[in-house]
Amino acid sequence: MNRSLSSAFEETNRPLVEGVRAHLAAFATNPTMHARFLNMLSLMEHIGSRKIMTCRAMRAPGLELLKHLTEESRHAFFFKRAAEAVAETALDYSPANTMAPGPAKFYMGRLDAEITGVLGDAAPELPYLYMSLIVELRATWLYRIYQDALAQAHSTLSLKGILAEEQMHLDEMLSRLHAVDPEAETHVARFCAFEDIRFRSVWSAVESECAGQRFAAE
């Protein structure tokens, strides 16, 4: 399922790749926009870590769950530190300092609501597993494109460590879901379709904020 899932995800998102890559490459040449985008990624990682903290599975967390929480918090810190290094100043998550913060928050909230709504009173760990899986599928897809853009821009910023951890989380979630949910393939397909709608909405907001911007080194 891992290979087929990744292939299906790549195929669904093929029409987005060129536009996403162009914007990510442009951010690398515009410090103001780049800092705001990095801060948006920090915000989303922060929301993700907070959702892990409040999920039902955290009532009796095991070592792997606590490790995942720690790593997601560290990802939020990584992107925040990178954003502030680019901006050369401290940044909060306000709209002035963060690209599309409202749609970014809505993405996480609506995806969480959809998953928990479908699963109902299922095993406590299932919403956590599916939310993590779907978000990390998107993160891996986006961060790979972003890493290529950074490399082409000869940026010192590298996402290779985060990509390795996201891939590891993805493999862990898939393995666990196969063990605990006989309807895993059906649920994954449904949640991926919903996530696709939500991500396109976020990216549309990013593009709207960039409209009319002159992407050149400042």
- Full residue range of the structural domain in which residue 160 is found: 2-210
Q: Is residue 127 part of a domain?
A: yes
Tens-place pLDDT, residues 170-196: 888 888 898 989 999 999 999 999 999
CATH label of the domain that carries residue 185: 1.20.910
Tokens of 159: 């996402």
pLDDT at 218: 39
pLDDT at 217: 38
* Ranges of the chain whose pLDDT falls below 50: 215-218
The domain total for the chain is 1
- The residues, any chain, with a CB within 8 Å of residue 99's CB and separated by 6 or more, are 33, 36, 37, 39, 40, 206, 209
Q: Is residue 25 part of a domain?
A: yes
